[in-house]
A = this chain, B = another copy of it.
């Protein structure tokens, strides 16, 4: 099987998420990283290229150069997929230019700096027909996929109640000058801090797993650490399109918490629970029967869960594998198109432009709600 040639924008020295994207792309042997514009500094970009054992000729001084020069290369050489792992304010322009110049795009979340950009990008993506994949990592976990399938198959009956939470503690002190850098800077991060960084993950997770759409919300948005410029904490009451209600909690000031994304969904017949700290387990609790513990790698799981697992049950897979699943499925989709084959339905199960637009609608609505004295705000209407 031929590997896809991958280029990267962003992800230079010190980038956490760039390194993660590279491991994810590498894991299943579906991509070969061949070039990049890893930094706005060519020197730093070259440093990363060397570290990665890349050909110096394909390290570019800017994302524009990367796109323009790669476009000129022969078809069997040029980059096919571009991963954009820059801060939020540098998502739209590179993604637009990449799509318009014939590249498929992997984009880190949230999709853009604003809903307006997101909607514009949607138009561009649809016009060009090139594919876009948005790395909402948590939907890449096999047991999250299993949760979605169980609910879609009606196992829980009509959904009534949802709790989703994303507690972190790493912004419990004023770490702005250090790692928090652009994440607390409105000009780079957009109007939201915690809600953009992790709230969108929780929002995406809940809509993915339940198949429901948030219609209205009521948010309590806080800046807990003095002088911080963006929200570092929030809780949101949710109303879904089927009448269910929910609660979304996302905070970066829960001192002592790591990163334990967790979702609980309750329907007429039972409830299910998944949390990242025990990522290979999906618990289903029934109304009048013993709860069941479903485990990654087991033969009784749906094809979606099995498609996204590499090892037999009992060999824990984690965050990097979940991330890699998104890359893998995206590659399978592209390769199917290249081979004029029908992609497997499991391969199409990755987040893209629709999830990106809804995420931006969530961000703008939730921040508006935080400032509003009205109780319920409709989620900004977008045609996704």
Contacts and interface: CB of A to CB of B under 8 A. Distances in A.
B53 A276 contact: no
A63 to B, nearest CB: 22
A352 B139 CA distance: 39
Given A161-B233, A253-B160, A254-B161, A259 B320 contact: no
Given A258-B295, A271-B257, A315 B310 contact: no
Contacts of A298: 288, 290
A2 interface: yes
Interface string A261-304: 00010111111000011111001111111111111011110000
Interface stretch (A118-126, A180-188, A367-375): A367-375
Given A254-B266, A285-B256, A169 B27 contact: no
A53 B3 contact: yes
Contacts of A27: 23, 26-27, 320
Contacts of A160: 224, 233, 253, 255
Interface stretch (A14-22, A96-104, A105-113): A14-22
A21 to B, nearest CB: 12
Contacts of A29: 22, 26, 52-53
A316 B276 CA distance: 8
Contact of A310 (B1, B267, B297, B320): B320
A149 to B, nearest CB: 14
A165 to B, nearest CB: 8
Interface of A: 1-3, 16, 19-20, 22-23, 26-29, 50-53, 156, 160-161, 163, 165, 168-170, 172-173, 218, 220, 222, 224, 233, 235, 237, 239, 245-247, 249, 251, 253-260, 264, 266-271, 276-280, 283-295, 297-300, 310-321, 372-376
